[in-house]
């Protein structure tokens, strides 16, 4: 197999990609057939990429039309954020008697859970999802024919012939992908710099540090630190913060523009700063970016939707367990019984409790949920219970719908403003109410001669401080975030040569526990091992937080591993 280390021979820095490699070029060439279209999407659906409607009664904030409430996490109960404690308050104190038997039950309907279900489809798995829409952080929407992402928006270009490459092609993703192989522009002081990593637009005295950083990126990409991080040098790297490692290796004062650029990337990707995250886990992302990105219409929701469609077909072939996709069915208790089967208990949207017996269970939900759902975990495995209390951060995504195309063709622009004032720690981030980058949300929505749909800008707004989720629920959060966004949006529109009158609607998506913080020592201290190993050989863990890396690739590789183990056990 053509490995990433063999493929990358001439990168150009943090956001520039090895487009010259012949294997990557062949991959892009094969991705050119016309994309299939979504059709027949109902307005009310659990599909990850479901049809949505413009808000007929929007909030008007600073003259802009805002959807009057959030997409993503609802938190209808106000401050009662799900699974801050156990929710297994059964009538009589015990779960109801099971009335259903399945080989595999999956708890969590994001890409981790949907991929696990697809890989285990011959066992007719049932998938439970806390929310009314599947997809997790990879939800999306379609308005008037325009797909847009609510969360994760791209994957790293897969190695040709790799397991990921085969998986994506099985789902038909290569027919809709638009590869992003250009250096990502960076905005500084109101100017777009197309290749700041080669020294464009920075003072001459800063160029040596930028060049030293560029060489560091090339070295790290050539020695790509990939999971499961088996080598000793990787564990040593995990004991340093990304900031410490960059400063150590560059061996020059880090100029403000470079520090701000790295920090903006860390905020956008990790929800935490370079001073907080592990150098090992940080480089896992930074180095991977050197291989290019695949972008789908509606972001990674297109992948989640392709999985959703395939799993939903099980209802017709296995009606005894339909629906196989159970949206808004909240699993509240998972317990391994004396006969080594697993009882899964849930609560329906109407408040009714029910139970089933499964031979194997995949926990494809965040670890802070697992620790409250797995029955008696604190007593049975205190080490795992404590390790699952991961540090997490909130996130907001805003989609801005336009009545015209974006004049500039780009995928992602990082917005640094005045680099000298960019926050360098979580304390400063508390007052940094700005989105870090603007994506062209219509980047992959080619229409092959069809009328152009509405165009979308997707704004990534990480909240890189610990109390942020309460800012998402207290007071009037739509007003607070809307006022902050409106001021910055004026700058972004001017940057892209768009008039304010082009904005038709702005929609916020919020995620209260979006990202696990890739803290220093996460791997070296054994936390990853403690939280991801199977529980009593019956319960498996597949989620982005297995490695504290919010990456589709790691979620999928863990799904491959768990599916292989379950298939071997069930036969």
User: What predicted TM-score, i.e. pTM, was given to this entire model?
Assistant: 0.91
**Would you say residue 83 lies in a domain?**
no
Whole-number pLDDT of residue 290: 77
pLDDT one digit per residue (tens) for the chain, 571 residues: 233 333 333 333 333 333 233 333 333 333 333 333 343 444 458 999 988 899 999 999 999 999 999 999 876 654 455 556 667 788 888 999 999 999 999 999 999 999 999 999 999 999 999 999 999 999 999 988 889 999 999 999 999 999 999 999 999 999 999 999 877 789 999 999 988 877 778 889 999 999 999 999 999 988 888 888 989 999 999 999 999 999 999 999 999 999 999 999 999 999 999 999 999 999 998 888 877 899 999 999 999 999 999 999 999 999 989 999 999 999 999 999 999 999 999 999 888 999 999 999 999 999 999 999 999 999 999 999 999 999 999 999 999 999 999 998 899 999 999 999 999 998 999 999 999 999 999 898 755 545 566 799 999 999 999 989 889 988 999 999 999 999 999 999 999 999 999 999 999 999 988 899 999 999 999 999 999 999 999 999 999 999 999 899 999 999 999 999 999 999 9
Q: Are residues 332 and 353 in the same domain?
A: yes
**Residue 322 and residue 7: Cα distance in Å, rounded?**
45
By C-alpha distance, which of 172, 235, 192 is closest to 31? 172
**Cα Rg of the chain (Å, integer):** 23
**Would you say residue 307 lies in a domain?**
yes
Whole-number pLDDT of residue 84: 60
Q: Are residues 397 and 260 in the same domain?
A: yes
**Would you say residue 112 lies in a domain?**
yes
Q: Are residues 244 and 331 in the same domain?
A: no
Length of the chain: 571
**Would you say residue 413 lies in a domain?**
yes
C-beta separation of 67 from 507 below 8 A: yes
Q: Are residues 260 and 276 in the same domain?
A: yes
Which residue range is the domain that position 132 belongs to? 91-138+300-388+524-570
Q: Are residues 14 and 31 in the same domain?
A: yes
C-beta separation of 35 from 446 below 8 A: yes
**Would you say residue 82 lies in a domain?**
no
**Residue 556 and residue 560: Cα distance in Å, rounded?**
6
**Would you say residue 547 lies in a domain?**
yes
Q: Are residues 439 and 350 in the same domain?
A: no
Residue-wise DSSP of 539-567: EEE-SGGGTT---HHHHHHHHHHHHHHHH
Last residue of a domain, one of 494, 516, 538: 516
Strand partners, 327: 129
C-beta separation of 46 from 130 below 8 A: no
C-beta separation of 330 from 351 below 8 A: no
Which helix (H) or strand (E) covers residue 431, if one does?
none
Q: Are residues 269 and 321 in the same domain?
A: no
Residue 473, domain CATH: 3.90.660.50
Please state the separation of Cα 524 from the chain's center in Å: 24
**Residue 138 and residue 173: Cα distance in Å, rounded?**
15
Whole-number pLDDT of residue 514: 86
Q: Are residues 321 and 291 in the same domain?
A: no
**Would you say residue 81 lies in a domain?**
no
Q: Are residues 359 and 451 in the same domain?
A: no
Whole-number pLDDT of residue 18: 30
Count the neighbouring beta carbons within 10 Å of the beta carbon of residue 94: 10
Q: Are residues 468 and 489 in the same domain?
A: yes
By C-alpha distance, which of 568, 567, 564, 557 is closest to 111? 557
Task: State the helix-helix crossing angle for 256-270 and 242-250, rounded to 10 degrees.
Answer: 150
**Would you say residue 85 lies in a domain?**
no
Last residue of a domain, one of 470, 485, 516: 516
Whole-number pLDDT of residue 135: 96
By C-alpha distance, which of 369, 209, 272, 292 is closest to 24? 292
Whole-number pLDDT of residue 512: 87
Q: Are residues 306 and 232 in the same domain?
A: no
Count of the separate structural domains present in the chain: 2
Which helix (H) or strand (E) covers residue 126, if one does?
strand 126-129
Q: Are residues 163 and 53 in the same domain?
A: yes
Residue 537, domain CATH: 3.50.50.60
248: burial class by Cβ within 10 Å (0-12, 13-18, 19+)? exposed
């Amino acid at each position: 197999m053509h490995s990433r280390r063999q493929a990358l021979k001439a990168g150009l820095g943090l956001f520039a990609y090895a487009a010259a490699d012949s294997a990557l070029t062949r991959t892009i060439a094969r991705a050119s057939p016309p994309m299939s279209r979504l059709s027949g999407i109902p307005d009310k659906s659990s599909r990850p990429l479901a049809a949505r409607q413009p808000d007929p009664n929007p909030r008007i904030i600073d003259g802009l039309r805002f959807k009057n409430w959030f997409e993503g996490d609802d938190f209808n109960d106000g401050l009662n954020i799900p699974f801050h404690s156990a929710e297994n308050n059964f009538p009589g104190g015990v779960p109801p008697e099971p009335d259903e038997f399945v080989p595999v039950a999956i708890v969590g309907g994001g890409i981790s859970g949907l991929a696990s279900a697809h890989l285990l489809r011959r066992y007719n798995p049932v998938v439970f999802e806390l929310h009314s829409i599947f997809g997790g952080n990879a939800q999306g929407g379609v308005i008037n024919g325009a797909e847009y992402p609510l969360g994760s928006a791209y994957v790293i270009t897969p190695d040709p012939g790799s397991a990921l490459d085969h998986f994506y092609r099985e789902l038909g993703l290569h027919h809709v992908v638009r590869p992003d192989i250009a250096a990502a522009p960076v905005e500084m002081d109101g100017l777009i710099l197309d290749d700041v990593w080669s020294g464009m637009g920075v003072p001459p005295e800063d160029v040596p540090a930028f060049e030293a950083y560029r060489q560091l990126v090339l070295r790290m990409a050539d020695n790509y630190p990939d999971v499961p991080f088996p080598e000793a040098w990787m564990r040593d790297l995990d004991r340093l913060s990304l900031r410490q490692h960059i400063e150590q290796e560059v061996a020059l004062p880090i100029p403000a523009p470079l520090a701000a650029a790295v920090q903006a990337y860390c905020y956008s990707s990790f929800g935490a700063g370079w001073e907080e995250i592990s150098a090992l886990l940080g480089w896992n992302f930074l180095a991977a970016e050197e291989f290019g990105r695949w972008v789908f219409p509606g972001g990674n929701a297109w992948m989640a939707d392709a999985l959703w469609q395939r799993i939903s077909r099980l209802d017709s072939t296995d009606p005894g367990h339909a629906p196989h996709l159970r949206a808004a069915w909240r699993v509240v208790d998972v317990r391994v019984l004396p006969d080594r089967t697993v009882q899964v208990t849930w609560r329906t949207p109407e408040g009714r409790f029910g139970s089933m017996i499964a031979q194997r269970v995949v926990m494809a939900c965040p670890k802070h949920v697992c620790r409250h759902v797995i029955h008696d975990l604190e007593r049975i495995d205190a080490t795992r219970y404590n390790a699952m209390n991961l540090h997490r951060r909130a996130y907001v995504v805003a989609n801005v719908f336009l009545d015209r195309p974006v004049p500039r063709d780009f995928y992602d622009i990082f917005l640094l403003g005045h680099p000298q004032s960019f926050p360098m720690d979580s304390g400063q981030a508390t007052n940094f109410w700005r989105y870090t980058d603007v994506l062209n949300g219509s980047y992959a929505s080619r229409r092959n001669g069809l009328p152009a749909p509405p165009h979308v800008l997707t704004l990534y707004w990480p909240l890189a401080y610990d109390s942020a989720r309460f800012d998402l629920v207290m007071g009037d959060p739509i007003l607070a975030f809307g006022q902050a966004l409106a001021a910055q949006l004026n700058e972004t529109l001017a940057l892209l040569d768009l008039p304010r009158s082009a904005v038709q609607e702005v929609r916020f998506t919020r995620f209260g526990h979006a990202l696990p913080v890739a803290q220093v020592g996460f791997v070296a201290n054994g936390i990853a091992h403690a939280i991801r190993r199977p529980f009593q050989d019956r319960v498996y863990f597949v989620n982005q937080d297995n490695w504290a890396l919010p990456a589709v690739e790691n979620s999928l590789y863990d799904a491959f591993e768990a599916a292989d183990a379950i298939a071997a056990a069930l036969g």
